[in-house]
Amino acid sequence: MVRRRRETRFVMISTVAERFGVHPQTLRMYEREGLLTPVRSAGNTRLYDEDTIKRLETILFLTRELGVNLAGVEVILNLRRQMNDMQLEVDRLLQVVREELRERGGIRREHALVKVEHGPLVQRNPAQRDPAQRGRGNLG
């Protein structure tokens, strides 16, 4: 199987500025403020990859459409990054738990978080409500 490397394409600052209707100086300011970090060429030219352009789109949406100032944009982007980091950590933890369960052969019934009633399984008509749910409004 041949694996293809994802080819990263870069765009110069003037092209990005024109595409989004901002002055190149605005993009430089976003960089000074730490909101954008374009890569640099050997000649020190700012080059924007797809991820940086997506981040710029988010910045412009927050400032133009929602009226968020740059300090607010920084907070929002940092919170978004933290949420993504936490999601990755939860995913890793879930994988560890799944592997542990697989090795142990599952969870013993007495250790389950949900009590399982003994008895035969029956198929209920979805139109019929459980008698325990009667009188509870439209929750069932």
The model's pLDDT over 55-107, given as tens digits with 9 standing for 90+, comes to 999 999 999 999 999 999 999 999 999 999 999 999 999 999 999 888 888 77
**pLDDT band (50, 70, 90) for residue 140:** very low
Of the candidates 124, 118, 121, 122, the one whose C-alpha atom is nearest the C-alpha of residue 140 is 124
DSSP states of 107-129 as a string? --GGG-SS----S---PPPTTSP
Q: What is the pLDDT of residue 5?
A: 57
Task: State which H helix or E strand residue 40 sits in.
Answer: strand 39-40
Residue ranges of domains in the chain: 11-104
Which residue's entry shows tokens 């879930």? 94
The strand order across the sheet containing 11-12 reads 11-12, 46-48, 39-40
The Cα 34–Cα 70 span in angstroms is 10
- Specify the fold of 11-104: Multidrug-efflux Transporter Regulator; Chain: A; Domain 2 (1.10.1660)
